[in-house]
A and B are shown apart, each in its own frame.
Chain A
Amino acid sequence: MSDVRKLTYGGAFNEAVRQAMEADENVFCAGEDIGAFGGVFGTFLGLQAKFGANRVVDTPISEQAIVGLGIGAAVTGLRPIVDLMFMDFICVAFDQIVNQAAKLKYMFGGEATMPLTITTGGGGGLSAAAQHSQSLEAILCHIPGLKVVYPSNPYDMKGLMTACIRENNPTVMVKHKRLLGMSAHVPEDNYEIPLGKANIMRAGTDVTVVAYGRMANETLAAAEKLATDGIECEVIDPRTLQPLDTDSITESARKTHKVLVVHEAVKFGGLGAEIASQIHELAFDYLDAPVARIGAPFSPVPFSPALEQHYLPDAASIEAGIRNLVQRS
């Protein structure tokens, strides 16, 4: 029966946290509305009732202090999970994330360990407008000392969140808001997906598409459609964006000779630029075309559904991008 057990993406997050808290009394959670209310997205539902208000802490709306709480507790021996409701709010806590959490170990000559997990809801598609829809992962990946994780499905969510909590470095776990209700098989037993390991979601020979978060699923949908026309896509979900599994990506590039990178963050300065550059540096001679990128246009995320649906990449635009790329030779 266990192999047909299903859980949502949000439920998988919740289960990973619950199992970690059961296994290790040093694990605690803190954030806005996560206690009695269970989190605005319900991802912390039931945890305070189970573990008490000392271990699932409702905080003031104070993002700097929330991250600082996690840093101070982590460096003195606890294993905190602190939640920043929306990824946009990392900007409010940026000093604590970038100047403190990411650097303490290094600045202290290696003496500190920082087993801190920062969880946050990223991505667009909810008409949540420009301050509640952003995909800011590239900024985080640019900071030495941080790890950045972005699951695309419930199975990966549970395994990656478990790894984040066990990790002794500060890690940002991005939950895509539009994936919270996605349901799929998730084993009940605790398991870990190692950070820095990409997942080849679909094997193919004609083109490699690198996509993460919700875009990995949109890419899979595009790939299934293209397969009916005989175009076989290899879909790679890096799962961890920092450290990035460059080996798996370049290996695939050498095989298919054509690569597209997809993300819903704006294209300029996004992860796609880094991935494309690495492929060019490491596998240029194998390429039949320059690495292509799909990302959002260079504007804030618009509010109106009429605008946002054209702003975000989707299966149709990804399919078009792949067709465009495979036509080159």
Chain B
Amino acid sequence: MDLSPPVQFDLHRRMVRIRVFEEAAGRLAEANKLPGFLHLYVGEEAVAAGVCGALNDDDHITSTHRGHGHLVAKGGDFNRMMAELMGKSTGMCKGKGGSMHISDLSLGMLGANGIVGAGSPIAVGAAFANKYRGRGQVAVAFFGDGATNIGAFHEAANMACALNLPIVFACENNEYGEFTPRSATMAITDIVDRAAGYGMPGVIIDGMDVVAVHEATLEAVARARAGDGPSLIEAKTYRFYNHHGIQNLGLKYRPDEEVAKWRERDPIFTFEDRMIENGTMTRERVDEIWAGLRNEIEVAIKFAEESPLPTPDQILVDVYTSMTGAAK
């Protein structure tokens, strides 16, 4: 592990922030305190943290329906995120987006997305703009294994390579597209096999190892910033909870042993063990970090619960922008 202690602490903190946020959201959903659907990121924290830890604040990301983790990893504010999940007017999207459209443009987070695969073409646009302006920014498209079966991904990957854009395609291969195993929906085992078809390099990494994710991203981002074009990173990972929510409401679609096997490789706990073993972290410090963030999330829940609901007069607000722009 060549990463400096401050970088390790940063990656760890990003992961714990995600876990704490998602566990809290899951509990609230179980208590029927969150309207709508909730796709939890628990188990996949190393991917969002490892990738976003390699980005600058002004780099862009597009996300998925399982998007809270990406926003938290990019620095998303707990209070406004939790308020958004509750549909409050103080939420990140003023209660108009919810879990599936959570976003923060000031952090370069161009939105979770309810349509599988739809974020990648938008990331291509952000990458195009970054190249056009020449300020060295990059874009990252997060997507799952299932998204690589939809046309939008193919078009985006091909166009990004054809135009040699500064973009990283970050695939979270959690082995299931909703409730159906990858093996039933594609004839290949590794998503990375698709990279060569577009003319970009691709690597497989252990998506439960934040250091591996981070190092692979640093390399891909460096390529992008240097003008050497797109890369694909396939992170093998796993969602610990259900496709949406915590409980498995329908038929069981994953063997218990499989879930248990992946849980043994918890990306946060294994990283903590490594850091403690290396002497960069102590158990006491780890406990402090968790306690501090758990405290922050309790504050966020209180903020969200006490926030006002949006009023009906807001329905027609922000459908359109009223002013026109430049190009005079």
Contact = CB atoms under 8 A, between A and B. Distances in A.
Interface string A298-310: 0000000000000
Nearest to A117: B327
B201 interface: no
A77 interface: yes
B91 A109 contact: yes
A60 B162 contact: yes
Contacts of A96: 118, 121-122, 152
Interface stretch (B34-42, B108-116, B185-193): B108-116
Interface string A148-187: 0000000000000011011111000000000000000000
B155 interface: yes
A1 interface: no
B125 A54 contact: no
A136 to B, nearest CB: 20
A167 B322 CA distance: 9
A212 B57 CA distance: 47
A20 B128 CA distance: 19
Contact of A169 (B113, B133, B155, B320): B320
Contacts of B105: 75, 108, 111-112
Nearest to A24: B327
Interface stretch (A63-71, A224-232, A251-259): A63-71
Most chain B CB inside 10 Å of its own CB: which residue of A30, A77, A99, A109? A109
Nearest to A105: B318
Interface string A20-48: 10011011101000000000000000000
Interface string B126-148: 11111011000001000000000
Interface residues of B, number: 53
Interface in A47-95: 54, 57, 59-60, 62-80, 95
B317 interface: yes
B111 A107 contact: yes
A260 interface: no
Contact of B325 (A59, A72, A144, A167): A167
A169 B128 CA distance: 20
Interface stretch (B94-102, B206-214, B271-279, B301-309): B94-102
A110 B115 CA distance: 20
A104 interface: yes
A115 interface: yes
Contact of B327 (A74, A109, A166): A166
Contact of A76 (B91, B125, B162): B125
Most chain B CB inside 10 Å of its own CB: which residue of A30, A60, A108? A108
A268 interface: no
Interface of A: 20, 23-24, 26-28, 30, 54, 57, 59-60, 62-80, 95-96, 99-100, 104-115, 144-145, 147, 162-163, 165-169
8 contacts: A60-B159, A75-B126, A77-B129, A78-B132, A99-B118, A105-B319, A107-B103, A167-B325
Interface of B: 60, 62, 91-97, 101, 103-106, 110-111, 113-115, 118, 120-130, 132-133, 139, 151-152, 155-156, 158-159, 162-163, 317-321, 323-328
